[in-house]
Amino acid sequence: MATETPPPAQTPTRLPSTEEFTEVQQSAEFGELRRAHRSFAFPLTIAFAAWYLLYVLLSNYAGDFMGTKVAGNVNVALVLGLAQFLTTFLIAWWYARRAAARLDPRAEAIKSRMEGGA
């Protein structure tokens, strides 16, 4: 059984020094990138955690409500439980789109400058 050799990893043209990393970390451009990430990721994380905890609390303390039939054997608990999965996928998709459009270009610009490619 033959094994394929993985392609060699691309190495940057030069490795930045510790001082350069510190300088970039303290730059306004990096701060803006970090703010852009946090202003999107933190509120969504908090909102999803609250939504999840609401589901757990309803499951524990509102059994009659969660047991309410919606259609056939489908009840509110099942609908809200499946909505948890849908919400997870929607948030992941939304984040991936936003990161690709707004975060990745900024991060790539910083990276290529640090590696000497700009």
Q: Report residue 69 CA to chain centroid gap.
A: 34
* C-alpha to C-alpha distance for 73 and 77, rounded to whole angstroms: 11
* C-alpha to C-alpha distance for 15 and 103, rounded to whole angstroms: 22
For residue 79 the two structure tokens come to: 């609908």
First to last CA, the chain: 44
pLDDT digits (tens, 9 = 90+) for 58-112: 999 999 999 999 999 999 999 999 999 999 999 999 999 999 999 999 999 998 8
Q: Report residue 72 CA to chain centroid gap.
A: 36
Query: Could you tell me the residue ranges of all domains in the chain?
Result: 28-114
> For position 17, what pLDDT does the model report?
82
For residue 48 the two structure tokens come to: 């999803």
If pLDDT is split at 50, 70 and 90, which confidence band does 113 have? confident
> For position 9, what pLDDT does the model report?
60
What average pLDDT does the chain have?
Answer: 89
